[in-house]
Amino acid sequence: MTDTSRILPVLVVGAGPTGLAAALTLAQNGVPVRIIDKEEAFHATSRGAGIHPRSVEIFHFLGVLNDARKFHRDLPPFQSYKLPGGTEVLKRWHLFDKFESSPDRPWDAMTISQYYTEGVFRDHLAKHGIHVELRTEPVSMEQDDEGVSVTLKRVDGDGKEQTESVRAAGKIEGLSDLSGITRKQIGATFEGETKDADGSVYADAVIEGLSSELWHLWSTPGKMLIGARPKLEPNAFHVTIFSRDFDPVEMVDQQKFVDFFHQTTGRKDLHFKEITALTYWKPKMRMVNKLQEGRIFIAGDAAHIHSPSGGQGLNTSIQDSFNLAWKLALVYKGLASPDLLGTYPVERLPVIAQMLATTSNLYTHLIPKKEDSQATTVQDQDPKKAGFMQWRNTALYQLDINYRWSPITVDAHGKDGLSEDDLKARAYEGYPGGDVRAGDRAPQAPALVGADGLEKTLFDLLKPTYHTVLVFSPQGGAAEIVKAAQEYPVGTVHTVVLGKDAVPQPIDSAESYHDKEGHAYRAYHVDGGEVTVVVVRPDGYVGAVVHDVDGLRTYLAKIFRVL
């Protein structure tokens, strides 16, 4: 990009998790950002409450995890009730299998209402002087070789409309655009289906008489489900009505919603003291066929919309942003070719497609089937079998998402004889338990001891602002790798030397640590005396697994402009 384009901000449209994650990643990379949203106020509904383990890791990389944890509550077990009557307990079970944490996969999911998550991101953006501009949306746009020209419509406090013409270095659309302006601009289709016969209504409510230690369910097989999930606040619940072949659109009226709840569950003893939000959702399972055209990108809800089953929406959206933003930052600064941006759709589209297939399948388990004994008996079912409100696919954690087919991976092991299509077919479910290869998520490793005797974890060393070159050097021989890594622009490559038996001797600007308990060497499957170099991208994915300077340079040449 030219010097002129570098002074332009990146325009982020939509202040949901997608846009906020993109804006914060760009801001941390020193890229100027404007973030706008058409809503009049920040929403306060409980959608997107499930934060899966991979997103928890991204929260850590972005520095928001500790603040987000303040609003977390453990996911309670389900308890279903017999109808009519609504009080006799049928069964108690958990939505997910118990997460087995390990040194390389340390964090379980969190449950946080989305408005808290967004508030945390906004607070961190404010530290960079960036604030969401509400009541503002794009109405037209054109791009050229130097940037994107966008006409914005803003509604002021008196309801008067104003327009503004802005120039941006690039545009990220993370907001579901009902008019499809951005999709039309880049020539994208929104392919999939809408479940016209079905519908859902969601309410945030304060209810007296209901335990906050359980997620309560009342259901009619083949027809309907009512659920009440406790929130963080006392006596507060997120209440849902899922229906099959019945559209409860009229239930967006508060009195009709309460009446339907009482009549269907039989629990007229439960008192709705307050309803703070009431929203309607028509089931849609759709995704775009492209994510980019030049300097215009779409991500999150603008790119894929799907069933809430499996809790993949917010999590997939954040991964979209985290994948794109570091690449956009390097191109914006002139450190990488614009061709790098083309790897965003190459990497993300296969993941999105497989996620959509998975959540569409889980949608069929939102309402019990007539033969589904989970709805009518307390007898235990096969714990590994997906069923009514029982997700048993560990791919939902998103820890096994990978990009092994990506053109910006370099792996000394090769591709195990697999074709590009073979590799893409496992984009979402990955290769659990296998060796770490280029394109995989970088595992965590605790107990790294520095020369000062202090311990750190590997994730403490990874940042969304640089590539991390991990040099596993059991017998020494790291100096040449460290020297080669220093050839790249200051601040873009950070080198860490990991010793197997002791803290390695200091080498220039590299950090040195003793892998005291061997977690790093085991997680990355390094066992011999050969030097192994693992390059971790700014988004926490492995870009390269090589053994020498030539391999390192081959990878970094795919990222940075020729020096």
Q: Give the integer Cα–Cα distance in Å for 3 and 452.
A: 43
The pLDDT of residue 47: 84
Q: Which helix (H) or strand (E) holds 13?
A: strand 10-13
How many residues are recorded in the chain? Answer: 563
Are 174 and 16 spatial neighbours (Cβ–Cβ below 8 Å)?
yes
Q: What residue ranges of the chain have pLDDT lower than 70?
A: 1-6, 176-179, 371-386, 562-563
The pLDDT of residue 213: 97
User: 5: left (phi > 0), else alpha (psi -120 to 50), else beta?
Assistant: alpha
The pLDDT of residue 387: 78
| Amino acid, single-letter form, for residue 118 | E
Residues 6+ apart with CB under 8 A from 305: 176, 192, 284, 285, 286, 287, 313
The pLDDT of residue 4: 38
Residues 6+ apart with CB under 8 A from 412: 545, 546, 547, 551
Structure tokens at 73: 């509550």
Structure tokens at 541: 């994915």
Q: What is the pLDDT of residues 125-146, one digit of tens each?
A: 999 999 999 999 999 999 998 9
Threshold 0.85, pTM exceeds: yes
Structure tokens at 411: 């792996």
Angle between helices 114-126 and 17-28 (to 10 degrees): 20
Q: What is the pLDDT of residues 90-116, one digit of tens each?
A: 999 999 888 999 999 999 999 999 999
The pLDDT of residue 122: 98
Q: Give 476's DSSP letter.
A: B
Domains of the chain: 3-72+112-191+285-362 (3.50.50.60), 73-106+196-282+364-399 (3.30.9.10), 410-559 (3.40.30.10)
Q: How far is CA 468 from CA 74, 205, 483, in A?
A: 33, 46, 14
**Rg for the chain, CA atoms, rounded:** 25
Q: Give the integer Cα–Cα distance in Å for 221 and 267.
A: 19
Q: Give the integer Cα–Cα distance in Å for 499 and 322.
A: 30
